Amino acid sequence: MIPAAFEYIRAQSADEALAALQKHGSEARVLAGGQSLVPAMRFRLARPAVLVDINPIRDLDYVRMNGALTIGATARDITVERATWIHDARWSLLHEVSRVVADPVVRQMATVVGSLCHNDPAGDWTAAALASRAEVVVRGAAGERTVPIDEFLVDSFTTAVADGEMAIAVRFPLPDDRTAGSYQKVERKVGDFATAAAAVQLALDANGTIRQAGIALSAAGPCAVRVADAEALLVGQKPSAEAVRAAADAATRRSEPQADLRGSVEYKKHLAGVLVTRGLRQSLSRLGVQV
């Protein structure tokens, strides 16, 4: 289908984009990689009267280590996937995510920030951002605010970005060298959204005790969900098969998937536990611990 008519604004700076967003309010939408918005417009599921294209804004096209890993709003998935630092084990969660989002063609255009703003229930970056305790920088007429990812992801396809605002960047805290993670995704074929997926990030202290745990599921609710019970069960414990089993059980309980062509509710709940088990074992193995 052909999209409904819309006004197209090609913003050359964040200020220009924000001026257009503030002028047109709820009528306007940001166009980033266009990999979700354009198909939605073609199916007339989205009918913005005004499209504010942020792609020309070169100074938002960056991936920087500056006290955090900061990814600007126009940086493509492919830039993260091809980064050299991503091969370090402490970035293993983001490394694995960057290779399984959609397919290589989509990743050439799609942006990490756009994916967070889209907040698809089966999104991959959203689960990884939750497990990593990322935060999103949102800019509007009143200036900038930093929103923890748990507050940013409000509901399916809904975020904390208000009319007249845009997300400028996402920040991932720098993991130390006793940190490792894993992204476990079951998909029917390359390029498909997750049937179920689990993002895991673990940090150990000097004694080998779990200091911090991040566990999130995709395709397990209205949007990616943190498995807070599993995290609480792990923190302060020595890694063990029992602790992994308890965390996996908590993930199965927390998972609230929808039945669809990819599988039944029971199957997806079971997968959530299996994928958290694999993610925890993989993360621990990267830290030199076998359970």
Ligand X SMILES: Cc1cc2nc3c(=O)[nH]c(=O)nc-3n(C[C@H](O)[C@H](O)[C@H](O)COP(=O)(O)OP(=O)(O)OC[C@H]3O[C@@H](n4cnc5c(N)ncnc54)[C@H](O)[C@@H]3O)c2cc1C
Beta bridge partners of 225: 217
Question: Any contact of residue 35 with ligand X (CB under 6 A)?
Answer: yes
C-beta closer to ligand X: residue 17 or 250: 17
Question: Any contact of residue 275 with ligand X (CB under 6 A)?
Answer: no
C-beta closer to ligand X: residue 42 or 238: 42
Question: Any contact of residue 131 with ligand X (CB under 6 A)?
Answer: no
**Among 63, 137, 167, 250, which residue interacts with ligand X (rule: CB under 6 A)?**
167
C-beta closer to ligand X: residue 111 or 277: 111
- Output the DSSP codes for 185-205: EE-SSTTPPPSEEEEEEEEE-
CB of 17 to ligand X, least distance (A): 8
Assign residue 262 a region (left: φ > 0; alpha: ψ between -120 and 50; beta: otherwise): alpha
Question: Any contact of residue 124 with ligand X (CB under 6 A)?
Answer: yes
CB of 80 to ligand X, least distance (A): 12
Beta bridge partners of 170: 71, 136
Pairing of strands 28-31, 50-53: parallel
CB of 169 to ligand X, least distance (A): 9
**Among 63, 71, 78, 110, which residue interacts with ligand X (rule: CB under 6 A)?**
110
Question: Any contact of residue 123 with ligand X (CB under 6 A)?
Answer: yes
Question: Any contact of residue 32 with ligand X (CB under 6 A)?
Answer: yes
Question: Any contact of residue 166 with ligand X (CB under 6 A)?
Answer: yes
**Among 9, 18, 20, 37, which residue interacts with ligand X (rule: CB under 6 A)?**
37
C-beta closer to ligand X: residue 197 or 244: 197
Q: Among 198, 194, 216, 195, which residue's Cα sits nearest to residue 134?
A: 216
| Structure tokens belonging to residue 140 | 């509007």
Residues between 185 and 204 that touch ligand X (CB under 6 A): 191, 193
Beta bridge partners of 166: 139
| Structure tokens belonging to residue 42 | 């073609």
**Among 111, 179, 201, 255, which residue interacts with ligand X (rule: CB under 6 A)?**
111
Q: Which whole-number Å values give the CA distances from 252 to 159, 235, 285, in the listed order?
A: 25, 19, 22
Residues between 210 and 269 that touch ligand X (CB under 6 A): none
Distance CA 37, CA 169 (A): 19
Pairing of strands 68-72, 63-65: antiparallel
Give the end-to-end CA distance of the chain in Å, rounded to a whole number: 52
Among 5-13, 115-123, 140-148, 236-244, the segment contacting ligand X (CB under 6 A): 115-123
